[in-house]
Structure 1
């Protein structure tokens, strides 16, 4: 009896150890910072020349470097601030995507700059020039954005009119930020292809990319995240924050998004009772809506701003 129990315990222990190892590996793949921006997806390679034209513009335009917690290597956050040559109180704060940085949002920076906005582009935790060993998928970043908002008000003045804008993880970041107590200067929000929750996004990608079940992987990854970053994945969501939102918000999502499914756009849209608009961009994949229809994208953004911001 003892022998059979022992022999049964050996493979079970091996399976458990293997599952823990796999979960830790997946956590590091998904949550650990990277030193370089990964290659874009194959379908977006067609926009490479346009993308680098925007990057060239971003690198050449006069700008300032702003900091949070300057001098503390473990907490220092970095952002680029581009003041519009035409004096204005209108300022957009742009939140970048997963494993990107402020430079990867150059196209949106130029769009809003040309529309007459001052532009602030932070590097989030674990990205670009900002500190952080791990990526928080917007949840801890939302706290930094409260400080960035305060810096904008200090720079521009109490008459500042602030727009929050983000794409992908950045979209989820401004959605999560929407549930916080925001200064009156924050007038509106635009969220492009943000996920409804970190947990739902992880479970979706576990299935689609790795063909792995939710259990026991997600609870183990969530526990690792609790140890490293201080919260379980199921404790936070865009939809719960959006339920507390009072600012007008425009949701944008590609109809063919297979990275953050378009169903999440509808979840996010239903979650908020604030004034809202939803634009599902036909045939666009993840974070492709601007690239596929740049003029239409700006027109739709401008229509929203004319309704709720200007």
Structure 2
């Protein structure tokens, strides 16, 4: 099996993005690739994200990357706004590698990004949003109040930089980007899978239900018993089911 291939990609607003390509383990899936969009403070080098990438390799190639302001990428995080440009740069690499069917799989913040990206850009065969928020500025749980402290306060941004290597822009959104549930309404006929745990400490179940309700068919909602939040919670069995769902919806 070929060794992982690393690359530095350039977005259309000139931000350097660290990315990696893993070939699939199934020769029947050489035309399909999963692009894994990590959550806030994540990186493709984190073990949890690596486990997600490994879990999807049986169903196609896999591309991982660091959003701007995260890990080895340049720039500053805009926490879901300009990150659609990062994702589009990675999709450009996927096309250059010869993949014809691109499945975006986003976790938490990455889930909001894959929804917004599919509403704004063409060329995605299927979208999977795991543990994604439905709307912005949600502060209804203690973990999300801590996230907003990191985003909005100078001391929080300093802490995020040194503890998680996440560099956050101090600028407020202007304009406020399309909310994830609003984006979900605009991606049909691209198939959408919404996955959420009933034990998610960040976003309660009204978030996935709002996304799913807003979307048009083809769409599915999986509420996973006992599942927590994002990359750190998913296991091999769920990843295999996601891979099989993607295969079913991108064949032909």
TM range (shorter): 0.7 to 0.9
User: Counterpart of 1:187?
Assistant: 125
SS in 1 for 2:36: strand
User: Counterpart of 1:249?
Assistant: 192
Q: Which moved more, 1:262-271 or 1:146-155?
A: 146-155
Deviation at 1:68, TM superposition (A): 2.0
Consecutive unaligned residues of structure 1, counting only runs of 5 or more, are: 1-60, 219-224
User: Counterpart of 1:204?
Assistant: 140
When residues 102 and 146 of structure 1 are mapped into structure 2, their CA distance, relative to the original with a 3 A threshold, is same
Decide whether the 8 Å contact of 1:172 with 1:191 is kept in 2.
yes
The TM-score, its normalising length taken from structure 2, stands at: 0.79
Q: Within 2, Cα distance between the matches of 1:299 and 1:129?
A: 28
Q: Relative contact order (C-alpha < 8 Å, sep 6+): which is higher?
A: 2
SS in 1 for 2:87: helix
**Count of aligned pairs between the two proteins:** 227
CA RMSD of aligned residues (A): 3.0
When residues 235 and 92 of structure 1 are mapped into structure 2, their CA distance, relative to the original with a 3 A threshold, is closer
Decide whether the 8 Å contact of 1:67 with 1:77 is kept in 2.
yes
Q: Within 2, Cα distance between the matches of 1:227 and 1:100?
A: 19
User: Counterpart of 1:63?
Assistant: 4
Give the counterpart of 1:118 among 36, 46, 61.
Answer: 61
When residues 122 and 270 of structure 1 are mapped into structure 2, their CA distance, relative to the original with a 3 A threshold, is same
Decide whether the 8 Å contact of 2:55 with 2:240 is kept in 1.
no
Give the counterpart of 1:300 among 214, 218, 241.
Answer: 241
Between structure 1 and structure 2, the one with the greater Rg is 1
Give the counterpart of 1:77 among 17, 35, 53.
Answer: 17
Give the counterpart of 1:262 among 192, 198, 205.
Answer: 205
Consecutive unaligned residues of structure 2, counting only runs of 5 or more, are: 154-167
Matches within 5 A, 1:1-310: 62-69=3-10, 75-84=15-24, 86=27, 88-104=30-46, 105-115=49-59, 117-133=60-76, 135-156=77-98, 160-183=100-123, 186-199=124-137, 201=138, 203-205=139-141, 209=145, 228=171, 230-232=173-175, 234-246=176-188, 247-287=190-230, 289-291=233-235, 294-295=236-237, 297-310=238-251
Deviation string 1:245-271 (CA, Å, 9 cap, x unpaired) is 121011110101121222100011111
Q: Within 2, Cα distance between the matches of 1:169 and 1:207?
A: 14
Decide whether the 8 Å contact of 2:196 with 2:208 is kept in 1.
yes
SS in 1 for 2:222: strand
Q: Within 2, Cα distance between the matches of 1:207 and 1:96?
A: 17
Decide whether the 8 Å contact of 2:37 with 2:105 is kept in 1.
yes
Higher fraction of helix: 1
Decide whether the 8 Å contact of 2:81 with 2:177 is kept in 1.
no
When residues 245 and 208 of structure 1 are mapped into structure 2, their CA distance, relative to the original with a 3 A threshold, is closer
Decide whether the 8 Å contact of 1:137 with 1:198 is kept in 2.
no
